[in-house]
Amino acid sequence: MTLAFVFPGQGSQSVGMGKDLYDNFSVAKDVFNEVDEAVCFKLSSLMFEGDMAELTKTVHAQPAIMATSMAALKVIEKETGKNIQELASFVAGHSLGEYGALCAAGALSLFDTAKLLKARGEYMQEASLKNPGAMAAVLGLSLKEVNELVNKACDETKKCYIANDNCQGQVVISGHKEAIEKAALLAPEMGAKKCVILPVSGGFHSPLMEEAAVKMQEELVKTNLVNPVIPVISNVTAEAETNADKIKELLVAQVTGSVRWTESVSYMQMKGVTDFVECGNGKVLTGLIKRIVPDARLLNVGTKDQVEQALSFF
């Protein structure tokens, strides 16, 4: 098997996401209805016809992005008549997308995944209010160079960290606002094409999220998470994980840790993956993968037309 399913993270949301799947496939409608029930809120209405600012709130965006991803996957399984073990050799997700990957691999139920992501969004938002932070995308520097940048931007009290290694030349940093702003000033001097401060509400994937990590550990202790039926690539280790207890530990570490996406994709390539299918809204991950593995076959599935195009792919 040479195929992997990948699941996007925050930033992939848009009003109208998933509606085409909801309107055309009963299995997709079932997914959205179950997620609505799990989060005790008509999230699907916000997704299909709501306000973008409201949808972008972390507490809404996280379960919404996952719901669209899982609806797309369920449609693929139904239309091909194959389960995920028959279709793919790995699953991986970017940040919150890792929860979608775990759900896809049978480690978490859809209901529990939606509940966890709603809680994760709430806890991250709370942590960002208590420990204000910022994030910035550094373009045109290597990971090693961004490490040097981060070290230069930190002082004894204001610090920043690597949050996401998205692909060569695109690294996101996170931390105290003052350190991020200093890094943004220093980056061009070090040869960066640009350093863009991102429109986010906190210093995600950094130690500023420690309180959220503690609360997620409490949530995960109460959650039934079993061994996945196919390996899930962890953001923290950038390797395949199949042990439920280890996965729980890594999900806690992921809240404050770096998303090692470049290494995750390279790991799957090393294991023989040639085809990557992004399940959900938008094309963020396939765009990154194209830069990491230029000769990979890439596919996006988030609409009825894309489903129809995908059927010959499997």
* Domains contained in the chain, CATH given: 3-128+208-310 (3.40.366.10), 133-201 (3.30.70.250)
The confidence score (pLDDT) of residue 11 equals: 86
pLDDT per position as a tens digit, 9-68: 988 999 999 999 999 999 999 999 999 999 999 999 999 999 999 998 899 999 999 999
The confidence score (pLDDT) of residue 101 equals: 98
- The CA distance from 19 to 29, in Å, is 9
Task: Tell whether the model's pLDDT for residue 69 goes beyond 90.
Answer: yes
pLDDT per position as a tens digit, 74-102: 999 999 999 999 999 999 999 999 999 99
> What is the overall mean pLDDT for the chain?
96
Q: Is 40 exposed, middle or buried (0-12, 13-18, 19+ CB in 10 A)?
A: exposed
Region 169-188 average pLDDT: 96
Task: Tell whether the model's pLDDT for residue 1 goes beyond 70.
Answer: no
Nearest by Cα to 43 from 304, 20, 34, 73: 34
Task: Tell whether the model's pLDDT for residue 199 goes beyond 90.
Answer: no
Enter the tokens of residue 266.
């390279």
Task: Tell whether the model's pLDDT for residue 314 goes beyond 90.
Answer: no
pLDDT per position as a tens digit, 123-177: 999 999 999 999 999 999 999 999 999 999 999 999 999 999 999 999 999 999 9
Enter the tokens of residue 159.
């610090």
Catalytic residue, chosen from 12, 44, 69, 95, is 95
Quickly state the pLDDT bin for 201 (edges 50, 70, 90): confident
Region 184-209 average pLDDT: 93
The confidence score (pLDDT) of residue 313 equals: 83
- Asked if 274 and 296 count as a contact pair (C-beta separation under 8 A), the reply is yes
Quickly state the pLDDT bin for 273 (edges 50, 70, 90): very high
Region 225-243 average pLDDT: 98
Residue 94 DSSP code: S
Nearest by Cα to 310 from 21, 44, 35, 17: 21
Nearest by Cα to 36 from 46, 27, 21, 51: 46
Annotation marks residue 95 as catalytic = yes
pLDDT per position as a tens digit, 208-232: 999 999 999 999 999 999 999 999 9
- The pairing of strands 297-301 and 275-279 is parallel
With left for phi above 0 and alpha for psi between -120 and 50, is residue 82 left, alpha or beta? beta
Region 250-270 average pLDDT: 98
The confidence score (pLDDT) of residue 46 equals: 96
Treating both helix axes as pointing N-terminal to C-terminal, what angle do 110-130 and 97-104 enclose, rounded to 10 degrees?
Answer: 160
Which residue type does 150 have?
A: V
Catalytic residue, chosen from 60, 94, 176, 205, is 205
Region 198-204 average pLDDT: 89
Residue 259 DSSP code: B
